[in-house]
Every structure is written in structure tokens, then in C-alpha cells.
Amino acid sequence: MASLAKPVKLLVLPLLLLHLLSFSAALSVGVNYGAFADNLPPPGQVAAFLKDRTFVDRVKLFDANPDIIRAFAGTGISLMITVPNGDIPSLASGRSSAPSPAASAWVATNVAPSTLRPTSPSSPSETRVSTPNSLGILSASEPPSTGRFRPGYDRVIFAPMLDFHRRTSTPFVVNPYPYFGYTARTLDYALFRPNPGVFDAATGVNYTNMFEAQLDAVHAAMQRLGYGDVEIAVGETGWPSAGDPGQLGVSVEDAVSYNANLIRLVNSGKGTPMMPGRRFETYVFALFNENLKPGPTAERHFGLFNPDLSPSYDVGLMRDSNYAPAPSSDSWRWCVATADASAAELQNNIDYACGSGGADCRAIQNGGACFDPDTLSAHASYAMNAYYQGAGRYDFNCYFGGTGVLTSTDPSYGNCRYQS
């Protein structure tokens, strides 16, 4: 688990507003730009690619590389820049009303030359300060309502930190990683796939994905200290597309399931059960597969893009129609339940699709056009298809733990019309 002492981040805001339009609403997504590789394109090419070809509107750096910072000047893409731990004592030596000379000098050296006009450390509209935290800061997190900070750290470290965020209207940055917390039993829960969920008796909420549960656990801990109103941002989260031989839950399909559903969730504006209606500034890890990273194979396969700037897989981030998501080769496909799905699996699929999945299931309610035949199989097929169509019509949206299948035969009948 990572140490509680983390590098400070400067969140350098863009000086131009950039409105990015996705399929039906504004899409906002950030990426972590690491460069632990010997085969990556130059920063200028990367910046131009992200600006012109993708919906990425914010980038987090792991240092203050001047070449990378300069490359993003004038692009309208926000930068989150890392300050080395060794520089923090001098940067923090000033008063809140008067930044230290070291802080002013650091911003002048690392930030101002790359902005369109001079940047002042005291200008909250241009420079925001935060620090990322792993979920190791929590002593309890399951169920989410029990979330609390580690004893001793809560009042001494996190109360003052959260007070600073409240006063400066800046986000408390956390790095939730379901990838590091899943088991064979909870894999579907971690990957946003249909699952029975985890019930929180204190709130009456049944969580059907680990990401929301982790965010709400952090929120519960903040609320215990009286800072539930402070914004939360996600500094890092992601899923690898390849791993060691036989590693469970690590494949292109798994990475697509996690990252595509993550992006969909954070852009939906629905928030979480404890934070309804909130959007979360989110940075997916990572921009590239980094071939020099040490450790397990998966560490080198978190990238959304390959070094040649081609997508590692498609999660809908590309603007160019040549790379636009292609949900199916057949323009007419429906998702239905497999014949061998159990009653429990079918009920779980209905609960998921019609609940957190956001599908419109009114047609299978009593009196609805698709209520008859009143069978689990028929109702599940309708609900699963409604979810599949609404989620983007990607093959993985019809996975349902292996109980969904795609068909080119319209399952509609009588007055019951299946969405297409």
C-alpha cells in the first residue's frame, strides 16, 4: 500500500474553455501521462493527438517535465503537475495569504512559461493545489457507510487538509483501484458487470460496483469529520489489458468493461448513492503502455493507447470516425438471456439492468406492453436488451456473467417492442 505522504499536485487550469461533445452529452475525461518507456512519441505529437483526435480534456503528469508542459500550452487541455516530495517543505513554508518565495519561483519556472499569460500562485482561478491519497488512508471501508480515516491521521492530517480544500474550493484527490481489491468472487462487482451486489444495511443501498462503493467509503470518512461537502476527484484508476499467464480478470475485454463503464459513470452526472448528482474529475491510468515499468506484466499494460497512438482498445475516446466505437458489425442486434441461465442469474440481471444499469424497464412491469409472458426469462431478456442498447451496444454490455447472448433476430412480439 502506498505511503500516506504523497506528492503535491498543481492543477493548472486551461485558459480557454473547450467544449467536447460525445455521442449525446459533453464528455470529460482525464488521463495519466507516464513516460516510463523508450518507445513513446514526442510530447508535441502527443499533445496535438489528444487535442485533435480525442475527447481527453485533462492530463496528469508524474513530474514537471518542461518539454511536456510546454507541449500542452495553448491546447486548452488542463494539466495536473507533480511537485517532487523533496520540494514540498520549502514550497509550504509561506503563509496562506503570502506564498513562499520558493512557491512563487517554482510556479514561475515550471508553469508560467507555458501559459498564455503570466500565472500567479495566488490566483485560485489558474492554480489549484491538492495531494493524492490511496485508499490506505481508510481504516474501514466495507460497507461504505463504515468508512473512516485511520485513527490519529483523521484529526491531525485529514481534518486540516479537508479544511484547506473547503477554503480554497479544491478537490480532495483519491486513487480508487478496484483492480487491486478484487477476488474471483468479486470480479464482476469490480468490472461493473451484473452481480448480486454488496448490501449496506446502514443506508439500505445495494452497491453493484466497487468503484462507487470505494468513493462512498471516502465520502463517509470525510463526513465523519464534518467535510462531506468537499469535492472529490479521482487522481488514478484503471485496469490492465494483459497480465501474467493465467491471471484472472486481466484481458482486453476486462479492461474495456472497467474503463468504458467508468467513463460512462463519471460523465453521467448521476453521482453515487451517497453523493447523488455529483460529477467527479477523473484521470484514467494510463495514457500509454509503458514498456520499462518494473513488476508484474500487468504494470506495463494499463495504457489506453499504444506508442504509435493507436487505441489499445476502444472505449469511445476517439473523435475521428475512423476510430469511432463500432459496437457491432450488424446494425440490428439485440441482447437476450441464454437458455441455460438460472433463475437467480436472471433475477440478478433484471435487478442490475433496471437498477444501477439505468435501463427503462416500465414495459415489463404489471400492465406494461412486455409484462406477458410473466416469466423471468422473458423479463430478463427485455431488461438486458434495454441495458445493452442504452449502454452503447458494445459486445461486453451483453456479457452478464456469461448469461447474455447477441442475436440478429428481433425478439419483439405483439405490442412488445424491444429497443434497437
- Catalytic annotation, pick one of 212, 236, 281, 345: 236
Q: How many residues does the chain have?
A: 420
301 touches 242 (CB < 8 A)? yes
218: Cβ–Cβ under 8 A, 6 or more apart, which residues?
135, 138, 147, 172, 174, 176, 232
Which cell numbers in the block locate residue 412?
419483439
Q: Which of 126, 212, 281, 345 is catalytic?
A: 126
To the query of whether residue 236 is one of the catalytic residues in this protein, the response is yes
Identify which of 121, 68, 114, 66 has the alpha carbon closest to the alpha carbon of residue 91.
121
Which SS3 state, helix, strand or coil, does residue 281 take? Answer: coil
Name the burial class of residue 257, with classes exposed (0-12), middle (13-18) and buried (19+) by CB atoms within 10 angstroms of its CB.
buried
Backbone angles phi, psi at 39, to 5 degrees: -135, 20
336 touches 381 (CB < 8 A): yes
Phi, psi torsion values for 172, nearest 5 degrees = -85, 115
Q: Are 83 and 103 in contact (CB under 8 A)?
A: no
Alpha helices in 12-123 (DSSP H): 43-53, 66-71, 88-91, 101-110
- Catalytic positions: 126, 236
